[in-house]
Structure 1
Amino acid sequence: MNRSTGHRLLCELRRTTHRFYSQSRSQPRRTHLPRTLTFALGLGAIGCTSLYFFYPDPSRSAPTSAKVPLSPSHFTPAIVLSNELSGPDTKLLQVTVAPDLLPPNDPANPSFAPIWSVYIKDDDIQVERPYTPLEGIDERGCMLFWIKKYPKGEVGRWLHAKRPGDQIALRGPLATWPWKEGVWDEVVMISGGTGITPFYQLFHSVISRQTDQNTRFTLLHSSRTPADIPPPHIMDPLTNYAAENSGRFRLGLFVDSFDGPAAPSHLPKAQIGRIGRGAIEQSLGLSNAQDSWWTRIFGKTQPAKPVNGNILFLVCGPDPMISAIAGPYGRNFSQGPVGGVLREMGIPSKQVWKL
């Protein structure tokens, strides 16, 4: 369709629409639209559909290269090493890229922030989704992901079907959140479901290595049932470290219900119910220390302390949970204003980050 033809069609659409609504004020409502308007709307629908498929999308058009190092600008082939069931609708997926495709081992590389992700592309439908490597990437190019299969999650279902030896394509790394040492006195991480993965990555790269001795960390994690609690590969290091370093790292588990099999006995006892204001205030020592969940778990009394301006709240999980805790995202997945429980507590936006 050339420009002049499109202009005439637009003019005809405006005249027809004006006549239609002008007549509708004095005549009974018609049961169908005028033919010209129907035809024009049909062309519009076809145009929108064509726009969806042919409009240039950087992620769909990014090339795949096996000759240059990992980069957000292109996809890199990776080979599946293992894909093991880890719970209801979840798998631990291990992949590797060729060692000669790894970026230079430069600690100053901002892409490899303590929390970073890669996009994995479903080659069948050319859709990509971000995933967080649990332990980053090692010198052999190995990455481990905890993948949940959602009913309408195309890429998750596609990854669940992969077998050792299969090839996938990924691009990255992309920094999810830039951690800076010595800035915060305390960091409270609140997660649900697979939203724990960026926090485990932070645990693996910063917390467990004790690179920042001045910050105290708390992780509050919510699952639907005990069977949905993250697998031992994730939970065992968190639980063991919390038991041995309760002054530096605390862990609280929550479940919506106790339906189904019980959680392993060595894990902290999960509380029934969703993470709310009471749990967050307990993690900050704002309620009776003798009744706090870490005291019941580890038998150690923690002194109460007031809220101050050096506490950071990180929230990651399903959209309804993020909205309830910190308010929904803004337009185009921007941070948006603080809402939910944290707003009730008077926490300003500079102390909240939605991953």
Structure 2
Amino acid sequence: MLRPTIRSLNRRHYSTTSQPRKNLSSLAAGFVLSVGALTSFYIFFPHESRGALTSRDKKLSSSYFTPCTVTQSEPCGPNARLITLSLPQKLLPDPEERQFSAIWSIFIKDDDIQVERPYTPLEGVDSNGQMKIWIKKYTHGEVGRWLHSKKVGDEVEIRGPLQTWLWKSDDAWDEVVMISGGTGIAPFYQLYHQIISKGVSAKTRFTLLHSSRSPSELPPPEIMQQLSLYAVENPERFRFLIYVDSDSDHGPNSNVGRVGRIDKDAVASTVMRTNTNQWWIWPFKRSVEFDIRRTLFLVCGPEPMIAAIAGPYGRNLSQGLVGGALAELGATSSQVYKL
């Protein structure tokens, strides 16, 4: 800013009216050049996702895109589809690779506008190379709308897997509380399918609190049935609680749970313990313990819900500080993870 100021002072004796116009013109020209430079940088700079190539003969990797085929696309609720993508078996990474441990995602690229978005396969990938993805279509969701337009037999490109969060079966937690909203249940269903239902880390108790706006927007019936049945058969290991903002409509899912949003009291109720050690007073009174020091909270869903439950994300989608209901309950940053 010094040079323009000095120049304007030196030239004041030449003109007192034309100089401001020249300065404005120079600023405008500089602004246009800056925008052009930034645009060119964005388009031509070799960013990992935009510059990633497509390979048809290499195993699935996060370093490049791999073509796969849409083999199923079924509507399930308003503006939602359950889509199955099939990958040739020869392109599957080895199952023992660490990067395939729950929870992991893949990126799907919209070829029309060259934009990619992450999605979590509900059951991971099976031995036939099939991945199921529950996708909602939003007004401003480019890739979701693009995927909804795809028909059986169409080809899409994916890259991954990419580790979203890694489960460590070291029994570090007595309780794991998962809180999801909308399609945010996907990573928790993957964790259920790959870890919980297989009895890994038998000492840990899992609870899933899921919220949808209405019964018709609950997860696909096959997900709801699997979780509900496992919860009934394994009450000491897994609990599944459903919340809806309103029960004004009834879709294919009739097992509507509680009307209302997941709040501090709902979360607190999952980690309360009824102490029955003093058996002689048990018939008359039960004392309730509340200790979350060995409880892990995983939260996934729309950003407003995450902010209300665990505090907003930090800069560049970092974890940020713990806030919301979990902060009020005394949870620390080591106990909270926002997916």
Question: Which one of the candidate residues 127, 133, 138 is aligned to 1:145?
Answer: 133
Native 8 Å contact 1:217 1:249 kept in 2? yes
When residues 195 and 287 of structure 1 are mapped into structure 2, their CA distance, relative to the original with a 3 A threshold, is: farther
Unaligned runs of 5+ in 2: 10-19, 277-285
Question: Which amino acid counterpart does residue 184 of structure 2 have in structure 1?
Answer: G
Structure 2 match to 1:280 = 267
Matched, 1:223 2:212: yes
Matched, 1:208 2:190: no
Native 8 Å contact 2:71 2:153 kept in 1? yes
Q: CA deviation at 1:260?
A: 2.0
Unaligned runs of 5+ in 1: 1-9, 20-29, 290-301
Cα distance in structure 2, aligned partners of 1:333 and 1:101: 31
Q: CA deviation at 1:33?
A: 7.3
Question: Which amino acid counterpart does residue 131 of structure 2 have in structure 1?
Answer: M
Structure 2 match to 1:293 = none
Cα distance in structure 1, aligned partners of 2:157 and 2:329: 43
Structure 1 match to 2:167 = 179
Please state whether the residue corresponding to 1:254 is helix, strand or coil: strand
Cα distance in structure 2, aligned partners of 1:140 and 1:194: 24
Question: Which amino acid counterpart does residue 55 of structure 1 have in structure 2?
Answer: F
Please state whether the residue corresponding to 2:195 is helix, strand or coil: helix
**TM-score, structure 2 length as denominator?**
0.88
Question: Which amino acid counterpart does residue 77 of structure 1 have in structure 2?
Answer: P
Cα distance in structure 1, aligned partners of 2:202 and 2:27: 68
Q: 1:89-143 deviations in whole A, cap 9, x for unaligned?
A: 110000111100011232xx22111110100001111100010110111111111
**TM-score, structure 1 length as denominator?**
0.84
Native 8 Å contact 2:274 2:289 kept in 1? no
Q: CA deviation at 1:69?
A: 0.5
Structure 1 match to 2:248 = 259
Identity of aligned residues (%): 50
When residues 240 and 43 of structure 1 are mapped into structure 2, their CA distance, relative to the original with a 3 A threshold, is: same
Cα distance in structure 2, aligned partners of 1:105 and 1:17: 68
Between the two proteins, the alignment pairs up a number of residues equal to 320
Please state whether the residue corresponding to 1:60 is helix, strand or coil: helix
Structure 2 match to 1:241 = 230
Native 8 Å contact 1:121 1:170 kept in 2? yes
Question: Which one of the candidate residues 303, 306, 322 is aligned to 1:338?
Answer: 322
Cα distance in structure 2, aligned partners of 1:288 and 1:253: 26
| Root mean square deviation of aligned Cα | 2.5
Structure 1 match to 2:151 = 163
Q: CA deviation at 1:55?
A: 2.4
Structure 2 match to 1:59 = 49
Structure 2 match to 1:35 = 25
Q: CA deviation at 1:308?
A: 3.7
Q: CA deviation at 1:249?
A: 0.6
Native 8 Å contact 2:274 2:287 kept in 1? no
Cα distance in structure 2, aligned partners of 1:304 and 1:336: 32
Please state whether the residue corresponding to 2:31 is helix, strand or coil: helix
Q: CA deviation at 1:306?
A: 2.5
Q: CA deviation at 1:15?
A: 4.2
When residues 98 and 345 of structure 1 are mapped into structure 2, their CA distance, relative to the original with a 3 A threshold, is: same
- What are the equivalent positions in structure 2 for 1:1-150 lying under 5 Å apart? 14-15=4-5, 34-106=24-96, 109-150=97-138
Native 8 Å contact 1:16 1:37 kept in 2? no
Q: CA deviation at 1:263?
A: 6.0
Native 8 Å contact 2:292 2:331 kept in 1? no
Question: Which amino acid counterpart does residue 87 of structure 1 have in structure 2?
Answer: G
Cα distance in structure 1, aligned partners of 2:274 and 2:258: 17
Question: Which one of the candidate residues 304, 315, 319 is aligned to 1:320?
Answer: 304
Cα distance in structure 2, aligned partners of 1:163 and 1:245: 39
Cα distance in structure 2, aligned partners of 1:18 and 1:177: 58
Q: CA deviation at 1:41?
A: 1.6
Question: Which one of the candidate residues 172, 191, 195 is aligned to 2:184?
Answer: 195
Question: Which amino acid counterpart does residue 43 of structure 1 have in structure 2?
Answer: L
Please state whether the residue corresponding to 1:34 is helix, strand or coil: helix
Native 8 Å contact 1:335 1:354 kept in 2? yes
Q: 1:47-75 deviations in whole A, cap 9, x for unaligned?
A: 22222222221101111101110111111
Native 8 Å contact 2:221 2:253 kept in 1? no
